[in-house]
A = this chain, B = another copy of it.
């Protein structure tokens, strides 16, 4: 690894009591370039602009995928990653589906640890606070032909974040727009999947909904995801979530929720979730909770679900009654080293990794 430390740290301007989301970047970033069929050396360097022309294939043909993950600080100032090997596996699945070169574990995990260690002073401590980390791969070759690119960049950038208490939101079940095609790239964290969701979400917002529950594009009869999250439904005391497929992202938070629920003896069914079944459960007052899970907010609780002209109100539950909030707390406690970690999910970031390597 090539190390280039900044001589102009911006940490003096950083106020851990007053954090936005995703717009202030830590001092350094990881960069590695692919050319002539192989990845070069990983560089840890000051965060900042690099030279790209508008002919860069990444913005022309969308060969670009990413991961979202977090580093947490505990009360003793120790720093942890959460299941980083899952993100490593997934970025390579995404890369493969987009015909991009896969990366090595050393680049991904080694790069992550070096960056997080170097800028550990940027990681805020406290309720809902963490460092949001964005590994990504994108095509950098300059060419105007729709083909697999020959040059790529792997990068890791990061920003301190605060998950403010989020009010329960209203969501709309999509009956026209969709985020993924059968045989498409829905299961990849492909850049293009996100852009495709913005306009339908804007239309839903105009109707008073914060998010869309995406349904299958052919029939709109089955739940797929919600917003940029995996979706869970609780009917009576059973939790349902759709199985992952080439259309549904294999979310790390989704998998962790499933394991935590099983560990607590909650009845979990991973099976197709039919819109009609959810509506019927609501009419019988058996629809207890519906929520989304993802790295950024951990859990987004839904207070109402729109379907065509109906708006179904969901019960308000206390933290003890709610599976969503109980599982969220259990997960966050493991992430932030407030609880035992029977699953071996936490990965400690040792200090001075680079000096001792």
> Given A62-B192, A143-B22: A47 and B51 within 8 A (CB)?
no
Residues from chain B with a CB closer than 8 A to the CB of A55 are 25, 134, 157, 159
Check: A48 CB closer than 8 A to any chain B CB.
yes
**Nearest CB in chain B: distance from A330 CB, A:** 25
Tell me the nearest residue of chain B to A51, going by C-beta: B49
Closest to A195 in B: B62
Q: A22-B144, A190-B192 are in contact. Are A176 and B181 (CB under 8 A)?
A: no
The docked-state distance in angstroms from the alpha carbon of A157 to that of B60 is: 11
Given A60-B134, A144-B159, the answer on whether A98 and B196 have CB atoms closer than 8 Å is: yes
Comparing A71-79, A146-154, A271-279, A341-349, the segment that makes contact with chain B is: A146-154
Which residues of the other chain, B, contact A25 by a CB distance below 8 angstroms? Answer: 53, 55, 142
Task: State in angstroms the CA–CA spacing of A25 and B56 once bound together.
Answer: 12
Partner of A192, one of B48, B50, B193: B193
Structural contact, A136 and B51, CB atoms closer than 8 A: no
Count of A interface residues, CB-CB < 8 Å: 71
Residue A96 interfacial (CB < 8 Å)? yes
Number of copies: 2
Contact B192 A183 (CB under 8 A): no
Q: Which residues on B sit within 8 Å (CB–CB) of A199?
A: 96-99
A195 adjacent to B99 (CB under 8 Å): yes
- The reply to whether the CB of A165 lies closer than 8 angstroms to some CB of chain B is no
A128 to chain B, nearest CB (A): 15
Shortest Cβ distance from residue A63 to the other chain B in the assembled complex, whole angstroms: 4
Contact A190 B183 (CB under 8 A): no
Per the bound structure, the CA–CA distance linking A55 and B157 in Å amounts to 7
Assembled-state Cα–Cα distance A51/B51 (Å): 5
Inter-chain CA distance A231–B136, complex, in Å, is 35
Q: Is the CB of A62 within 8 A of B190?
A: yes
**22 A-B pairs with C-beta separation under 8 A:** A21-B144, A21-B145, A23-B142, A25-B55, A29-B53, A49-B53, A54-B138, A59-B59, A61-B194, A61-B198, A62-B64, A62-B192, A62-B196, A63-B198, A97-B196, A98-B195, A176-B183, A177-B184, A181-B184, A185-B192, A217-B217, A218-B219
A residues within 8 Å of B by Cβ?
Answer: 21-23, 25, 29, 31, 47-55, 58-64, 66, 68, 96-99, 132, 134, 136, 138, 142-148, 153, 155, 157, 159, 174, 176-185, 190-200, 202, 217-219, 228, 296
The 6 A-B pairs at the shortest CB distance, nearest first, are namely: A192-B192, A49-B51, A62-B191, A54-B155, A218-B218, A181-B181
